Amino acid sequence: MIEFNNLKKVYGGKSALSVDRLTVRPNECIGLVGNNGAGKTTMLSLILDLIKATDGYVTSMGNKVNENDDWKEYTGSYLNEGFLIPFLTPMEYFEFIGSLHGMNKEDVVTFLNEASGFFSEDITVKKYIRDLSAGNKNKVGILAAMMWKPGLLILDEPFSNLDPTSQSWLKNRLKKLNNERVTMIISSHDLNHISEISSRILLLENGILIKDISSGEGTLKELERYFSVS
């Protein structure tokens, strides 16, 4: 579904990402892990054509993402609050995103009722997104990205700033989406959650792919050993 071909991104003479070849197959749930500065957000940004590659290219369903917009029709994503519209209320934002994908107001309300365990705040109040806490901003962005059940879902640190109940809800919802054949690429510092939901783990270090492993019973311990301080 997604292919990297001799992909490189350089900032100020320093390599931020260098991946010769990588394929993400349909219905995989990719867990992207690594320390700060490893290249995770750079990788996601290149998939979404948010930044220009120094060399190489990314394809989605066989098409270069920087040469056409077809991939946007089946890709849901949330990397940071820059994806939000701060002067809208959460409900206005959900309705706007829903309208882009053929959802009416009733569809949006139905989805949000199903997500009440995640976003418990009254979304009908006149409170702008810019006035929400960091955690609630993340919730708005994450819900908007998955609301229309895209074929490909890309999330950057989705468990960040979430309370335990919300983390549990999100983990279960991501599992459900993957079972419904949604392909996912999710970066996270939470090794427990990412090991549990992912079918495959990619570990980046200094922009280089160090490990590419199928997730299984011993994955968490393997990652913990890798990141442990000797």
Is 85:129 a contact under the CB 8 Å cutoff? yes
Q: What is the mean pLDDT of residues 56-69?
A: 96
Q: In terms of pTM, does the model score above 0.75?
A: yes
Q: Mean pLDDT over all residues of the chain?
A: 94
Instruction: Please state which of the ranges 96-110, 125-139, 157-171 shows the lowest mean pLDDT.
Output: 125-139
Domain 1-74+152-158+180-230, second-level architecture: 3-Layer(aba) Sandwich (3.40)
Q: What is the mean pLDDT of residues 19-46?
A: 96
User: What stretches of the chain show up as alpha helix (H) in DSSP?
Assistant: 40-47, 90-100, 105-114, 134-146, 164-179, 191-197, 219-227
pLDDT tier at 195, thresholds 50, 70, 90: very high
Residue 23 burial class via C-beta count within 10 angstroms: exposed 0-12, middle 13-18, buried 19 and up: exposed
Work out the percent of the chain whose per-residue pLDDT is above 70.
Answer: 97
> What are the structure tokens assigned to 93, written together?
């934002």
Q: What is the mean pLDDT of residues 118-126?
A: 71
User: Can you give the residue ranges of every domain in the chain?
Assistant: 1-74+152-158+180-230, 80-149
Q: Give the per-residue pLDDT at 120.
A: 72
Q: Give the per-residue pLDDT at 230.
A: 44
pLDDT tier at 125, thresholds 50, 70, 90: low
Q: What is the mean pLDDT of residues 3-28?
A: 96
Tens of pLDDT, residue by residue over 208-227, are 999 999 988 899 999 999 99
Tens of pLDDT, residue by residue over 67-78, are 999 999 999 999
Q: Give the per-residue pLDDT at 117.
A: 87
Run of H or E residues at 60: strand 55-60
Beginning with the edge strand found earlier in the chain, give each strand of the sheet holding 29-33 in spatial order.
Answer: 75-78, 152-156, 183-187, 29-33, 200-205, 208-214
CA within 13 Å, CB half, 90: 25
> For residue 44, which of 20, 68, 6, 76 has the smallest C-alpha distance?
76
Distance between CA atoms of residues 69 and 47, nearest Å: 12
Q: Please determine, for residue 121, whether its predicted confidence score (pLDDT) is greater than 80.
A: no
